Structure 1
Amino acid sequence: MLVTDQDLLQQQQMNASVKHIKASSHEHTQSSKFLGIKSDPLVKKMINLLMRDGKRSKAENVLNKALQSLDRDYPGRAIHIFYLGILAVRQDIGVRLKPKPKTRRNKQSFNVYLPRVISPICGINLGMRSLLKVSRDQSITSPLWENLSKELLKASQSKGEVVNKRYSLNKLAVSNKRRIHFGVRY
């Protein structure tokens, strides 16, 4: 059997199309790699907080790209980094400003902060919200998913703006803990 140049060309085109199909299916499996964890409560909450105007698919894509970015830099550790970051930014203690008394002469010239204990679920929600806020504020220079992955990585290492905010809030609450009897709620 004699092989001509036309047969070789057809063989190469067929091999190229098979490689293209394999590559596109590989990309599809890579992009949907983290979408299987959508049933997790923390992931659901993060998607709901990311979502604006009912664009659930966009929010899922943003979180998916953030996790893929983490997985590209730290293979197999993206979900671990996500959970560590969420747990690092959760808030345990909150403060609120004590209302000033309605007297003519103001006896206190400084603000009084009343520390209060935050429930664990509410603390995680507040931490996620502050993480997303910082990511959105930096979103001018690069995409949101990239900023989100960077903030998650910093938070998992107990660094970053959100973790510093948490520690400063705890410090403020500790400095005002002698006024704790004002803020007790049952």
Structure 2
Amino acid sequence: MISSYEQTKSIKFLGIKSDPLIKKMINLLMRDGKRTKAENILNKALQSLDRDYPGRAIHIFYLGIIAVRQDIGVRLKPKPKTRRNKQSFNVYLPRVISPICGLNLGMRLLLKSSREQSTLSPLWENLSKELLKASQNKGKVVSKRYSLNKLAISNKRRVHFGVRY
């Protein structure tokens, strides 16, 4: 039996489904066309955040998404196949990523890290923990972003900046 408090909470979070970032997160969570399951997972994650931090769940969600967005990507250029071995190592080519693509990549990394966490706890719980860590600029996804930026900065002499859409 669901209490009236829980019903109003779920209605409150389902009312923001028209937001583009919420829609994108639901689409990325969705497996095999099960949209209601994806909505329930995101709803439970936001409810969990709202229980711990009343009234701040959406704010934490947005801060987490903005913290994990990618600005710069690195493409691996393979070793040249020549007789004389001028370059015997792989070359990393930094590239600028468009803001929309960067948000999508960040959300995918966030979901991937929450799925890779322990299988004992449900996905919505792992997702709420990852969103909270990302909103505080901590966690695996944010550290991965910083290491990728560091790799791009160390290879900036090979820059051929063109925006990737």
Do they fold alike, i.e. is TM over 0.5? yes
Larger mean Cα displacement after TM superposition, 94-103 or 80-89: 94-103
How many pairs does the alignment contain?
163
What corresponds to 1:165 in structure 2? Answer: 144
1:138 is matched with 117
- The question of whether the paired residues in 1 share the 8 Å contact of 2:79 and 2:88 is answered with no
Kindly provide the CA deviation profile for residues 107-140 of structure 1, in whole angstroms up to 9, marking residues without a partner as x.
2222210000000000000000000000000141
Runs of 4+ in structure 1 deviating by more than 4 angstroms, as ranges, are: none
The structure, 1 or 2, with the larger RCO (C-alpha pairs under 8 Å, 6+ apart) is 2
Distance 1:103 1:42 in 2: 47
Question: 1:6 matched to which residue of 2?
Answer: none
Give the equivalent residue in structure 1 for 2:22.
Answer: 43
Instruction: Give TM-score, length-normalised by structure 1.
Output: 0.84
Distance 1:47 1:40 in 2: 11
Indicate if the aligned counterparts of 2:70 and 2:103 stay in contact, CA closer than 8 A: yes
SS in 2 for 1:122: helix
User: Does structure 1 conserve the Cα–Cα contact (< 8 Å) formed by 2:117 and 2:126?
Assistant: yes
Could you tell me which amino acid in structure 2 is paired with residue 58 of structure 1? K
Which of the pair is proportionally richer in helix? Answer: 1
The residue number in structure 1 matching 2:31 is 52
Partners of 1:168 and 1:102 in 2: CA distance: 29
**Gap regions ≥5 residues in structure 1:** 1-19
Percent identity between the aligned chains? Answer: 85
Does structure 1 retain, via aligned residues, the 8 Å contact 2:72–2:97? yes
Q: CA deviation at 1:28?
A: 1.5
Separation in structure 1 between the aligned mates of residue 105 and residue 162 of structure 2, nearest angstrom: 19
Change (3 A) 1:141 1:106: farther
